[in-house]
Structure 1
Amino acid sequence: GMSGAQPKAGNIAGVVSVVAEINPKAAQKRYEQGWVDELHDQLDELIPAIRQAVDEKRTVSMAYVGNVVDLWERLADEGIQVDLGSDQTSLHNPWAGGYYPVGLTLEASKQMMAEQPEEFKKQVQASLRRQVSAINRLTARGMYFFDYGNAFLLESSRAGADILTDDGRFRYPSYVQDIMGPLFFDYGFGPFRWVCTSGDPKDLALTDQLAAEALEALRATATDDIIGQLDDNIHWIKEAGRNHLVVGSQARILYADAQGRTNIALAFNQAIRDGRLKAPVVLGRDHHDVSGTDSPFRETSNIYDGSQFCADMAVQNVIGDAFRGATWVSLHNGGGVGWGEVINGGFGMVIDGSEDSDRHIREMLLWDVNNGIARRSWARNQGSIDAIRREMERTPGLQVTLPNLVDEAVLELHDLIKS
């Protein structure tokens, strides 16, 4: 069912956001939990509400209880100016509930899945063709559309939708190619998680404060190419508590590079040692990270030297994390884009205030992030080349072979002489 992350993120960013959810129970649950501001089950009511919020420059999150294709088509028909758009249906599992085709209710879709699977597949593919057509109309009017790495582009192409360019490439980029890769992953910024095992909200609030202080200290001497990333995450962590993001464990996530993750974790460990935090903290991360995943349609899609189809980095990362102090590691397949399309590696590290935890933090987090930066720098991603050079200056004994970049002018001169 519907995630609350998108509408909540829209509120934090100060925009008008609209999501769609076909399951009324899931939408109602998120509304009652405070993750979305408004529910609408009629497009005739939703469209004027969008226009009014935009005219008033009012921050609001809206959920349409219905099929997302109906929403896309109505936005295109009504001439609504959509600035950013994406799709987050679970198209890595298109035939078993990851995508509900337009024209069928939730219940009818479930029945067709079970009783007429081939007909359901045809309905899904027809729905994807309609969805892409509406998206193309909106992008022609200026919308920036990005693929979330959820196999939307892949399944749309298989359905025969107008999603490919003349040279056979996807019409739209993965957001890793355009945003996450060059701005975050190449510099080592990725999703750093922690869980306060005390279960005490006061402990979580203290970790928010410690994380913000650690990032602000790094910002004071940061290079221009990572100041924006630091600013965004300082804003995020300062806003996290007041936006009531916790639904279970007292846990938090933000994006940080190796130095940021290490400094935050060391601050946590010191707070455990001196009693300000009541119990150990578990460190982790999402697999959607710099080093932990090999996924040519998402995490490694901005690697263009051909190695994006290799699956060794995630395995090496897990082994290195295990050697350097992780409490547990995991190696799994299919995360986000489907079985056989990705290898994911993860870890958990329990820190308890000990000197051993300090050592594990320094040694393991250094590897967990910079393994991927080294691989990306060898692929000639300029941000990673700059980031790994800085890390080699900071870390005694770290030596990473850098690529020799070809000067295009030399090649042109060679061709000229040869001709």
Structure 2
Amino acid sequence: MELAAVVGFAAAFTVAATPDGTDWLRFAILAAGATVHIQLTQRQEERRRNRTKTVLIDLIAVWVFPAILVLPATLAVLLVVLIRVQRWFTARRPPHNFIFSSISHSLAAALAGLSYASLHPQDWHSVTALGSLREFGLVLIAAAVYEGVQVLYVGGILALSGPRPTVRTVLGSKADNLLEAITTGLGAVTAVLLVTMPPTVVIMAVVTVFFNRLAELDQLQDDVVTDPKTGLLNMRGWSESAERALERISRADGNLAMLMIDLDHFKWINDSFGHPAGDDVLGAVAKALGEVTRPADIVGRFGGEEFLVLLPDADAAAAQVAAERVRNTIAHLRIDTTDKRGAQTTITDRTTSIGVAVFPLHAATLASLMQAADAAVYEAKENGRNQVRFARPVTQ
């Protein structure tokens, strides 16, 4: 990948214009703004990085993207290097990983700048109202190249390096990508300010500090409702989402099902392989549940070795199919982990007892649905485990 990047840099630098005095002045303004942003948000960014388990969306596009639009590719890449050098002190990542991601940012800037310049943009000082539509389209193309190169360069490696990559682990969540899109949009605004009223770029420095704080608060809100071991919703987050879904279904006179999933003999895993192995099993099951459920389904960790799945718009027949799919999927998992002595081992053939309760057949409230599903789980365990059992219909 790094050899391929060399080719990309050579192509961009060969056709890049020689920087003049205006270019260097704009470069200095962007470098100063980026430095203020980085230094004032150093602690916040460090906390964000420590809490992030998948792809981290950096906020440097506010400064890099305007460089792509108004500076030669050589200066745009130099700006990325200056920013990344400062980021080294908060990244706390292995050097080879940090260098790789730095190259991805630099290559994205170089190729986006090359693409933008090849489209022959007009001078923004003389552009007409109608012509501004064309210029806006060119900005969107540059943004697409900038984001696309990073997705291919970093996402491709993440997809190849993981045993079972998912869209979230490779590309980040919808919220992550929305954050990246907004940051790139702010970068376009910064470019306009830089060309028309350079002193006002200081406003963007203030905005980015505030925006960095909002990103941290959003992440903290996610942490409040997320189970740290599995990445699923914890009981607080799951209950809030489930209550909203139940209210909607109740108003529409629809159906809704709940699965309570209990891993059989989970204590044996902890006793035989150690608690880290037990955590690996929980993580593997959580990932499997995310893969075999629908986007609208609400998946959470109930506690210990128990999970909950709410199935909106699902009747008893659909719930039966979903529960069996979950049971079979977990039974076929091969979980690579370590034993008590740290040796590599694989855990297989895990069974699951699943209790199912359907609204309004078995209960009318979330709490009573959980109670009914829990009773069904105990019935499944008492009858030999590794099976799906339905709750008993509510009596009038």
After TM superposition, the score normalised by the length of structure 2 is 0.27
Bigger radius of gyration: 2
- Give the number of the structure with larger relative contact order, counting CA–CA contacts within 8 Å between residues 6 or more apart: 2
Q: Please, what TM-score do these two structures have when normalized by structure 1?
A: 0.26
Bigger helix share? 2
